[in-house]
Amino acid sequence: MDNYLFEGGRITKMEVDYAPACDEKIPLAKELAKKNPDSFHEAIEMLLNLEKQTRLGADMVSCSRVLVAVCQICLEAGNWNALNEYVTLLVKRRSQLKQAVSKMIQECCSYVDKTPDKETKLKLIDTLRSVTEGKIYVEIERARLTKILADIKEADGDISGAAAVMEELQVETYGSMDKREKVELILEQMRLCLLKEDLVSTQIIAKKISIKFFDDPAQHDLKLKYYDLMIRLDRDSSYLKTSRHYQAIAEPPRQTPSLEAIEESKKKSVTFKEDDKKKRDKEEEIKQADALPPVELTPEQDKEQKQRLICAVLYSVLAPYDNEQSDMMAKLSKIKKLEEVPIYKEILRLFMSKELINFDTFNHDFGTVLAENDMFQDNTKHGRKCIAELKDRLIEHNIRIIAMYYSRVHLKRMSELLNLPATRCEEYLSKLANSDTIRVKIDRPAEIVYFTTKKSASDVLNNWANDVNQLMSLVNKTCHLINKEECIHSVKSITVEE
């Protein structure tokens, strides 16, 4: 089998073994080019003739050695233009062996950091990217070269160019690439799209990563980077998603499982049937991850964890009220680490309670603490937006509480409770009514606000069924009375005739 070559899914037999010829001519060519620089092309020509023989003889190993040797001679001579020309020439030759091309490209990729200047480096990268375009067997090398090119463009200040280059890569389709390296490249695509403020592309790229990948404790650094990018993406558009992102990284990292534990779980999974094997393996991984103790944090890391938890609380409070937001606040309130920041726990409790929140009292108790937080800085656009949203959430919370306790209330009294003018009260009532948070009607001439409870679909259906039953009962009773009257009338008419 050693004399056979698997080329493009086909088995090609190696006709001649050119290893002895390579052992003789490659060192000779290198020595010739090294001693006499004028004999550079003569040495290359010697190897090109040998390359043709190995290529037509389907000797993949020897052909790879020859191609690598050509690149090495060009490097030692410092002739970068010749390197670019011969790489392009050798790749385009008829019946060129894929494994040999792959070896040559890998060798040339190692030369990128050895280039004397930036112009030469860019030319070499451009050559290698051109010859690897559309070739699956060198997709990893092309991706790494593209990453280097994007870094160069970014360093030059061309963010749009760097993002455009990186977006060309469809990394998620690369089967031969390691999963971690895939995620790193996708995260780089997200980062560059965020820098050029292309939020739509960032959202599309973010969906290429499954968050289950971050369940592995060994990927914690990538998890932090991913959620940091997602926070930057969603913090101005969705406070609820931002809170969820902070909550995902507020948990301390778990220890990486030992090799003994992994082997033990594999032994246990052997006893299950093949159909259930994947499911059982996944369950075992989850159990092991939950059983692993958290990593001991340094004081700085512990401070970062608290800050993330605080941000998760604040963004959940800033999110518009709905069932999902209510569930998230309830979930956050059960986190034990929140007891270490009692002020923010109290803020969360106030928004979960069924009591009115006085704005002046809230500002007196928590205004100073919130002003120190980066989220509520007046000198930033995001900070000013968060301050305005917090005021809106306070007013909307109070309106929902009023709707719970009142079926109707005078508009003037409502303005006193909310500490707002009547016109502003109507604006907030309309806003909440449009979002279907409350059911309200305003009698403007009488200046009375009517609140009605929001009925679920099952309640509406039950009321409809009850009304239909009452209607049918009334129809049956009416028919019965009509029949009774007809019977009585017929009996009376018979009696009169007799």
CATH of the domain at 439: 1.10.10.10
The residue with tokens 């052909």 is 63
| 101 within domain boundaries | yes
| 451 within domain boundaries | yes
| Residues 333-387: tens digit of each pLDDT | 898 888 888 999 999 999 999 999 988 899 888 888 888 888 888 888 988 999 9
DSSP classification of residue 177 = S
The residue with tokens 């999963």 is 179
Round to the nearest angstrom and report the end-to-end CA distance of the chain. Answer: 122
Q: What is the pTM of this model?
A: 0.78
Distance, C-alpha 182 to centroid of its chain: 13
Per-residue pLDDT at 1 exceeds 50: no
The domain boundary, picked from 109, 135, 161, lies at 135
| 465 within domain boundaries | yes
| 21 within domain boundaries | yes
Strand partners, 408: 450
Number of domains in the chain: 2
Burial (CB count within 10 angstroms: exposed 0-12, middle 13-18, buried 19+), residue 311: buried
Of the chain, the percentage scoring pLDDT greater than 90 comes to 38
Number of other CB atoms surrounding residue 172 within 10 Å = 14
Per-residue pLDDT at 262 exceeds 50: no
Query: Measured between alpha carbons, how far is 255 from 258 in angstroms, rounded to an integer?
Result: 9
pLDDT (0 to 100) of residue 496: 64
Three-state secondary structure call for residue 96:
coil
| 89 within domain boundaries | yes
Q: Supply the range of the domain harboring residue 418.
A: 406-475
Per-residue pLDDT at 419 exceeds 50: yes
pLDDT (0 to 100) of residue 281: 54
Per-residue pLDDT at 494 exceeds 60: yes
Long-range contacts of 330-334 (CB under 8 A, 24+ apart): 331/247, 332/247
Residue 62: closest CA among 9, 106, 3, 8: 3
Tokens of 86: 């011969």
| 2 within domain boundaries | no
Query: Measured between alpha carbons, how far is 227 from 211 in angstroms, rounded to an integer?
Result: 10
| Residues 433-457: tens digit of each pLDDT | 888 888 888 888 888 889 887 777 8
pLDDT (0 to 100) of residue 484: 87
The domain boundary, picked from 114, 135, 156, lies at 135
The domain boundary, picked from 135, 158, 182, lies at 135
pLDDT (0 to 100) of residue 377: 87
| 305 within domain boundaries | no
| 218 within domain boundaries | no
Q: Which of 77-81, 89-93, 289-293, 294-298 has the lowest mean pLDDT?
A: 289-293
